[in-house]
Structure 1
Amino acid sequence: MANIRITKQFSFETGHALFGYDGKCRNVHGHSYKLSVTVIGTPIADSNHVKFGMVIDFTDLKRIVKEEIVDLFDHATVFNQNTPHVELADELKSRGHHVILVPYQPTSENMVIDFAEKIKLRLPENISLHSLRLQETETSFAEWYACDN
């Protein structure tokens, strides 16, 4: 049977700052991110299976991505844990803000790599992550493809 790609799209609001950057993005700011998650697999051929004809139930894919990415990053502020932004992060946390410290510079490029690793660990054995597209603005996005990695 043929391999089929299934894509589910998500959106979330996240703030970040790029420590050491030589432009405006060194300041704390936010984006309305759009994440497209594409998986690949063979549709279930067993006509007695409740998910007959599906590669993966969109609801199952949604649950995985929401738990691993959207619920964590939505309305959070992300900082590199190895920068002086840690002091700002501590201050924000003390005031009840949702802050995430990551072991990388929180660019779209690095975030999409992080997201790919998290999603791959949760997919059923017969389904592979094909690609991710993380859109930061209307005209800017980063993409991750399994075939490139």
Structure 2
Amino acid sequence: MNNKIRITKQFDFETGHALYGYDGKCKNVHGHSYKLSVTVIGIPINDTSNVKYGMVIDFGDLKKIVASEIVDKFDHATVFNKNTPHIELANELEKRGHNVILVDYQPTSEMMLVDFAKKIKNRLPNNIKLHSLKLQETGSSHAEWYANDQS
């Protein structure tokens, strides 16, 4: 029997950003205590000789992937769209020893999820699929990415 199971692990990280050209307060540099939920789907390992018997993926293995691709990079960093004048601010901050990430998109929760999905999918074993991501930006606001929604 091929029972597909979804496994979710949550991650917390602090990241600063600014939305260039935005018409509200978020045009200013500010930060969030992000909560990222990563859900993968697969069939539990059926081989009794496998140390991971009964698991879809070891939570520790999923943690290693997400930590190395996202949390370790984005935690206590400031993200700017490199295709805007924020590049000058980014360069100045980097000169002063700040951790800056330059991306080619507007660093909204929505676009960060698109980036995160690509990075996580590239690292998952072939038998495991990324099912969904949820990025909580504030206590009352989050964005979600679902594999089923992608064309």
TM-score normalised by structure 1 residue count: 1.00
Distance 2:9 2:106 in 1: 26
Distance 1:20 1:130 in 2: 32
Q: Which residue of 2 aligns with 1:139?
A: 140
Q: Which residue of 1 aligns with 2:89?
A: 88
Q: Which residue of 2 aligns with 1:56?
A: 57
Q: Which residue of 1 aligns with 2:127?
A: 126
Long gaps (5+) in structure 2: none
Local SS of the residue matching 2:122? helix
Long gaps (5+) in structure 1: none
In the alignment, structure 1 residue 28 sits paired with structure 2 residue 29: yes
How far did residue 57 of structure 1 move? 0.2
Cα shift readout 1:34-54 (whole Å, capped 9, x = no counterpart):
000000000000111100000
How far did residue 94 of structure 1 move? 0.4
Cα shift readout 1:20-70 (whole Å, capped 9, x = no counterpart):
000000000000000000000000001111000000000000000000000
Q: After TM superposition, which residue ranges in structure 1, 4 or more long, deviate above 4 angstroms?
A: none
One-letter amino acid of the structure 1 residue matched with residue 54 of structure 2: G
TM-score normalised by structure 2 residue count: 0.98
Distance 1:23 1:50 in 2: 52
Cα shift readout 1:102-148 (whole Å, capped 9, x = no counterpart):
00000000000100000000000000000000000000000000000
Q: Which residue of 2 aligns with 1:71?
A: 72
Aligned pairs, how many?
149
| Cα RMSD, aligned residues only | 0.3
